[in-house]
Structure 1
Amino acid sequence: MSQTDLQELEDENAVQGEGEEFDEENRLKPEFVRAVRDALEEEDESRAYELVEPLHPADIADLLELLEPGERRELASAITDLMTGDVIAELNDYVRESMVEALPASAVAEIAEQLDTDDAVQLIEDLDDEDQQAVLAEMDAEDRAAIESALAYPEESAGRLMQRELVAVPEHMTVGDLIDYLRDHDDLTTEFWEVFVVDHRHRPIGTCQLSWVMRTPRHIPLTDVMKRDQTLIPTDMDQEEVALRFQKYALISAAVVDESGRLVGQLTVDDIVHIIQEEAGEDALLMSGAGEGDINEPIRDAYFARVRWLIANLGTALVASLIIAAFGAAIEKLVALAILMPVVASIGGNAGTQTMAVTVRAIAMNQLTKSNTRRMLWREFRVALLNGVTVAALIGMATAVIFTPQLGAVITTAVVINIVTAGLAGVAVPVIFERLDQDPAVASSVFVTMITDSMGFFAFLGLAVAAGLAV
């Protein structure tokens, strides 16, 4: 038996049997992915289908993302009936966009009609206007109207994200009327957790969980068992604020209302989980100026997203360089200054990054507002002072032993000054961004780094000159 035959046998054995496609962390095994690739390379579509068929739609989406663009199209062609709307909905945005663009408008429309409105909108919204219109023209009038209505709302708003599929009933019903209504109307959505009760103007006045309905006698009016207190989400609310509402009030679902207070849709917790994950990752990436940071993002887009902040960083680094240049003569006379300068700047930069991360998170979670900004500044000042004294004492003693006690005292003072400055800057920079209606996570680190580097060099070199160490 040849080496190639042995490898193929190993790959086949590795992917046979339930659960053997995954490792202990529930990720697709490299052997399984390689087996699928080999089947595609050999144009054995039946083998590729056999391998993929047992997978959950989310795992099929993961598999597609692991393949090269050409391999994705080949696999999609081999498993046509497995490429359901659920698979498309789980795909990474960039992967989904590239695959959808390769499909005819009729095929995209067919997939969109299988999805809930929010997932269908996500599928169509990134297409060019011309492609959008072509897809919408292929859809049923009702589905087309729902998607066009959603696209009219701003991106990342509740109106764009909400599901139109819900159950709403008038307030005069009894529990028995509601049960009969649910049984008699086959066109109602099949997946829901609660029923919305509305008045004659279609404004939500309460909700009934299905568990309440099933355990309540038929003759009881809905108004006697429904929950009147509810969190209503305006259609124009940003998705980040929506996620905070769900987290704060422990919501499973919530009604979405238009400007007149009419019920137009609902948001459910499964949508919010995706939003929370997306927002958390977005803030972390924006703090570094890395753009969207998606490994499937086109190289050109990644380049433009990152290079502008690197150029900005180059400009801010020049500020620190000018400070060093101003003390060039002192550095020439005392080489120890050049050795220790990076230590002061680095410690300050790390301290600033810590505080900035805490601040950005506090702003995102609505924990930091105008009413407690001063308290936050005072708190971080005290934390920075304690950190500064602790770290400065260590570096000061080491410097005194290795170099001179006088230089140890200088670096001790400079480190305290820089860490305190870093703490204040780590709060102030994101807050200033937020006050200017800008995302506080957007490249705040560039400016905090400039402040900590500049202050570190200035404090250390300035104190050294003032102490006469470089005379």
Structure 2
Amino acid sequence: MSEPGNTPEDREADAAPQSLDEDNRLTDEFVRSVSDAVDQADPNLAQELVNPLHNADIADLFELVDEDERAPLAAALGDLVSADVLAEMNEHVREDLIEILEPGQIADLTEQLETDDAVAIIEDLKEGEQKAVLAELDAEDRAVIETALTYPEETAGRIMQRDLVAVPEHMNVGQLIDYLREHDDLTTEFWEIFVVDPAHKPVGTCQLSWILRTPRDIAVSDVMKREQTLVPADMDQEEVALRFQKYNLISAAVVDEDGRLIGMITVDDILHIVEDEASEDVLLLSGAGEGDINEPIRESYRARVRWLIANLATALLASFVISIFGAAIEQMVALAILMPIVASIGGNAGTQTMAVSVRALAMNELTRSNTRRIIGREFRIALLNGGTVAVLVGIGTALIFANPMLGGVIAAAMLVNIVIAGFAGIFVPVMLDRLHQDPALASSVFVTMITDTMGFLAFLGFAVASGLVGL
């Protein structure tokens, strides 16, 4: 009799690398083992290693290997690279794989997906490839996807699912249950049923739990909830996400311009949107483009360099202000030593307020009705912060340089710059929003320009006005 832990199966399990670490990420050892199996032309071993993984983990595997390894890995894994794996995959990595597939193969994969995931794959194709793939789809699927593609990107029409259950309000609960059981062509994954009028306009919703707990002879119209949040098909996906958050929705009906039910959006789609929009705002604030480590180098270069050039232009303005006071700086080297402190602290203060303002605008918390109150709030915070930092830096400067006048000058400049930074941090994003521009896109450039320029101007100007130095 074999001892526990010494059977062939146990030895094989011990030899196999652990796929996930404590943070639920693929381990380096596992990724190397799969890569080695592919390099050794051993697809059976590669499939044996990868087969237990979740679709999302298989998608992660493709993102972790080198770009030139992805095509051989896909060939080795075969059918394990399913439609669901493609749907979970980073868009840049997915583009690499789709390039090696024939239109018919892409069509077969997209037909297995829900509409929103199929659209996400096809919309990234070039126009000629799109037409070739659509031509391979059956007429019904092609019509659905073509309709979805007519809506602008990042709108409800692009992310909605077409597979839903809608019934007329004249049914009773028993008829509804029989309908669900008898029609095999209905979607199999749903928790809410939409009730529509003869014009196919949604009039209410029924959760499955209500249906299961209600006697068969009760009318659906007596069970359904009439209050519902309807999402126009052309609504921006960020606004859709805000509605889900505000009203604690699990799903919501999508309607066309005539109010007819054409699809639904579920909370799992919203989670992806919330993550994408939050990441996008942070990256826009830094000018880092998409910030995707799988993005082609040329695209990352184009996205980042234009903001560096814009920052160069604003830095020249700050340098011009310094040049005006060149003679004053020559008289006291301490001014040159302390100038970066004024600009740096002001810039950080502006960034703090700007980040809060951009988030508030994105979450619809900062609107026309409360803008004045929020500006007043940030002004008071800036005064408190400015006063605190000014006292500290003023005392420190006076002691280090044995010059109380210099300490007073930098304290006054610090207070002024932090207050200006606080105002700029909220004023710039609000103005961009009023002009229908993304406040995350250019706020950092303008705020940096204001804090640097005004910081230098205040510090050097106060030094001259106080008689500490002359021009």
- TM-score, with normalisation over the residues of structure 2? 0.96
Residue number among 113, 133, 144 corresponding to 2:142 in the alignment: 144
Structure 1 residue 308 displacement after superposition: 0.8
Matched with 1:409 is 408
Structure 1 residue 432 displacement after superposition: 1.1
**8 Å CA contact 2:283, 2:289 repeated in 1:** yes
Matched with 1:193 is 191
Q: 1:36 to 1:15 in 2, by over 3 A?
A: farther
Unaligned runs of 5+ in 1: 1-11
Q: Does 2:215 match 1:217?
A: yes
**8 Å CA contact 1:400, 1:407 repeated in 2:** yes
CA distance in 1, matches of 2:369, 2:377: 14
Matched with 2:420 is 421
Matched with 1:302 is 300
**8 Å CA contact 1:14, 1:32 repeated in 2:** no
What SS does structure 2 have at the residue aligned with 1:350? helix
* Cα-to-partner distance string for 1:357-405 (whole Å, 9 max, x where unaligned): 0000000000001111111111100000000000111000000101111
Residue number among 285, 293, 314 corresponding to 2:312 in the alignment: 314
Q: Does 2:183 match 1:177?
A: no
Aligned length: 460
Structure 1 residue 42 displacement after superposition: 1.2
Matched with 2:132 is 134
Matched with 2:41 is 43
Q: Which amino acid aligns with 1:413?
A: A
Structure 1 residue 314 displacement after superposition: 0.4
What SS does structure 2 have at the residue aligned with 1:24? coil
**8 Å CA contact 2:413, 2:462 repeated in 1:** yes
Q: 1:351 to 1:75 in 2, by over 3 A?
A: same
CA distance in 2, matches of 1:314, 1:153: 38
Matched with 2:4 is none
- TM-score, with normalisation over the residues of structure 1? 0.96
CA distance in 2, matches of 1:43, 1:469: 77
What SS does structure 1 have at the residue aligned with 2:440? coil
CA distance in 1, matches of 2:208, 2:113: 23
Matched with 2:270 is 272
Structure 1 residue 330 displacement after superposition: 0.4
Q: Which amino acid aligns with 1:95?
A: V
CA distance in 2, matches of 1:275, 1:55: 25
Matched with 1:77 is 75
Q: Which amino acid aligns with 1:138?
A: E
Runs of 4+ displaced beyond 4 Å = 12-19
* Cα-to-partner distance string for 1:221-273 (whole Å, 9 max, x where unaligned): 00001000000000000000000000000000000000000000000000000
Structure 1 residue 19 displacement after superposition: 9.4
Q: Which amino acid aligns with 1:427?
A: I
Structure 1 residue 17 displacement after superposition: 8.3
CA distance in 1, matches of 2:12, 2:121: 34
**8 Å CA contact 2:17, 2:29 repeated in 1:** no
Structure 1 residue 355 displacement after superposition: 0.2
The equivalences for 1:98-109 within 5 A come to 98-109=96-107
Q: Which amino acid aligns with 1:50?
A: E
Matched with 2:230 is 232
What SS does structure 1 have at the residue aligned with 2:439? coil
**8 Å CA contact 2:17, 2:33 repeated in 1:** no
Residue number among 249, 252, 261 corresponding to 1:251 in the alignment: 249
Structure 1 residue 167 displacement after superposition: 0.1
Q: Which amino acid aligns with 2:423?
A: L
CA distance in 2, matches of 1:13, 1:142: 51
Q: Which amino acid aligns with 1:56?
A: H
What SS does structure 2 have at the residue aligned with 1:256? strand
* Cα-to-partner distance string for 1:151-175 (whole Å, 9 max, x where unaligned): 0000000011100000000000000
Q: 1:138 to 1:378 in 2, by over 3 A?
A: same
CA distance in 1, matches of 2:426, 2:388: 21
What SS does structure 2 have at the residue aligned with 1:261? coil
Q: Does 2:456 match 1:447?
A: no
**8 Å CA contact 1:14, 1:20 repeated in 2:** no
% identical aligned pairs: 68
Q: Which amino acid aligns with 2:448?
A: T
What SS does structure 1 have at the residue aligned with 2:215? coil
Matched with 1:433 is 432
Matched with 1:457 is 456
Q: Which amino acid aligns with 2:459?
A: F
CA distance in 2, matches of 1:369, 1:376: 10
Structure 1 residue 70 displacement after superposition: 2.2
What SS does structure 1 have at the residue aligned with 2:53? coil
Unaligned runs of 5+ in 2: 1-9
CA distance in 1, matches of 2:193, 2:184: 16
Structure 1 residue 468 displacement after superposition: 1.2
**8 Å CA contact 1:15, 1:21 repeated in 2:** no
Matched with 2:66 is 68
Matched with 1:289 is 287
CA RMSD of aligned residues (A): 1.4
CA distance in 2, matches of 1:152, 1:344: 52
Q: Which amino acid aligns with 1:369?
A: T
Q: Does 2:31 match 1:28?
A: no
Structure 1 residue 126 displacement after superposition: 1.0
Matched with 1:92 is 90
* Cα-to-partner distance string for 1:67-98 (whole Å, 9 max, x where unaligned): 11221111111111111111000000111112
Q: Which amino acid aligns with 1:337?
A: L
CA distance in 2, matches of 1:18, 1:211: 44
Q: 1:65 to 1:463 in 2, by over 3 A?
A: same
Structure 1 residue 20 displacement after superposition: 2.6
Matched with 1:370 is 368
Q: 1:57 to 1:363 in 2, by over 3 A?
A: same
Structure 1 residue 443 displacement after superposition: 2.8
Q: Does 2:346 match 1:348?
A: yes
Residue number among 376, 382, 385 corresponding to 1:384 in the alignment: 382
The equivalences for 1:3-22 within 5 A come to 20-22=18-20
Q: 1:257 to 1:465 in 2, by over 3 A?
A: same
Q: Which amino acid aligns with 1:416?
A: L
**8 Å CA contact 1:162, 1:265 repeated in 2:** yes
CA distance in 2, matches of 1:63, 1:456: 49
